[in-house]
Structure 1
Amino acid sequence: MAGLVDWESFGVMAGGASGALTGLLFVAVSLNAQRIAGHPVLRAIAAQTLVLFIAPLVMATVLLVPRQPGWALGTEFIAAGLAGGLSLMVIGRRRRGPATAPERLAGLFDRRDTGIAVMLLFVTGGAVLASGSTAGLYLLPPASLVAFVSGVLSAWNFLLPPPDVL
């Protein structure tokens, strides 16, 4: 089984990708700022996407701390996953009123449930690490990949919205 030092390249790659995708999100939101700012559903989707892109960045940051014991890293993953999941739930509750047809179409890009699954993978991986097994690290790649793909779908919606949507 791989030790923590063997995951350094993954942490560098995930952190770099997360930073680049966060930049993409800011560009996408900036290009459509007026449309997004005027609509609570789009604002919530943008915030959820930001959480999805920042979560792997936080994971990579704590993963790359040198000579850190596994239990500490696991605890940090648990805390980050819980904070991210709580953030996604709070963002999701900010929506108000019944959804109109355009909002339902925009909701296709809403990745809150997917985001919660990502955070649960971080928490589970952290719990396994905190218990003394490095096997929890193997939950990081699927969590990061799902966060990236889901976030890119949302950012794409901001860059090229479907016709007649908001």
Structure 2
Amino acid sequence: MKENQGAVYAYQIEYWTVFLSVTAGVAATLTGLIFVAISINLSRILEFPRLADRAAESILQILGPLIVSIWALVPGQPRLVIGIGMAVAGFVLWILQTLLQYRSFTREHPRPVISILLGQSSTLTFLIAGISLATETLGGLNQWLVPGVILSITAGVSNAWVLLVEILR
């Protein structure tokens, strides 16, 4: 029975409210800190043509978990609606992420591949988490939402580090 409990919890949003609440709080706090980091170095960031896009990308990375968490915490929504909302949010975030990464890519200053992959994979996990929740397939929230949150926060903080510290080197 215990082996199947993980699978059951993976599709029942009521078991995720604490995780989602904590995620929303952490993401909101980090979003504010990233805005402060950007404002501290704004003039320096604007000296480099593509860093403003990277700053926007950093904010989007942290907004991903915030948007998904808030959407999933709205009381009384059916699982299907929550899943569709997550999938749409993941898709929109992925499109915006891809556009920003494309615009900020230059041959003179290429970004590390790991940075690009981290950003791409973090947004796509929200899309898959939503599909998984809506269809009760693919492993559920524990397989996709948790890694998505971790990847998004890692990508956002990594980009913020570049904007706050690396830019001054």
TM-score range, shorter chain: 0.7 to 0.9
Query: What secondary structure, in the 3-state scheme, does the structure 2 residue paired with 1:94 have?
Result: helix
Q: CA deviation at 1:158?
A: 2.0
Contact map agreement 2:45 2:167 (CA 8 A) in 1: no
Query: Deviations for 1:78-105, whole angstroms, at most 9, x for unmatched residues?
Result: 1001100000111123237531xxx34x
Say whether 1:84 aligns with 2:89.
no
CA, structure 1 residues 95+43, in 2 after alignment: closer, same or farther (shift >3 Å)? Answer: same
Pick aligned residue for 1:24 from 30, 33, 37:
33
- Across the aligned residues of Structure 1 and Structure 2, the Cα RMSD in angstroms comes to 2.1
Query: What secondary structure, in the 3-state scheme, does the structure 2 residue paired with 1:40 have?
Result: coil
Which deviates the most, 130-139 or 21-30?
130-139
Q: Distance in 2 between matches of 1:163 and 1:39?
A: 12
Q: Distance in 2 between matches of 1:88 and 1:41?
A: 14
Q: Which runs of 5+ in 2 are unaligned?
A: 1-7
Q: CA deviation at 1:112?
A: 3.3
Among the aligned pairs, what percent are the same residue? 28
Letter in 2 for 1:119: T
Q: CA deviation at 1:44?
A: 1.7
Q: CA deviation at 1:59?
A: 0.7
Q: CA deviation at 1:162?
A: 5.9
Match of 2:4 in 1: none
- The two structures have a TM-score, normalised by structure 1, of 0.86
Letter in 2 for 1:58: I
Query: What secondary structure, in the 3-state scheme, does the structure 1 residue paired with 2:141 have?
Result: helix
Q: Distance in 2 between matches of 1:38 and 1:163?
A: 12
Pick aligned residue for 1:116 from 116, 120, 139:
120
Q: Which runs of 5+ in 1 are unaligned?
A: none
Letter in 2 for 1:86: I
Q: CA deviation at 1:161?
A: 1.8
Say whether 1:52 aligns with 2:56.
no
- The two structures have a TM-score, normalised by structure 2, of 0.85
Q: Distance in 2 between matches of 1:97 and 1:12?
A: 38
Contact map agreement 1:73 1:130 (CA 8 A) in 2: yes
Pick aligned residue for 1:12 from 10, 14, 21:
21
Letter in 2 for 1:7: W
Pick aligned residue for 1:95 from 97, 100, 104:
104
Matched positions, count: 159
CA, structure 1 residues 44+72, in 2 after alignment: closer, same or farther (shift >3 Å)? Answer: same
Query: What secondary structure, in the 3-state scheme, does the structure 2 residue paired with 1:111 have?
Result: helix
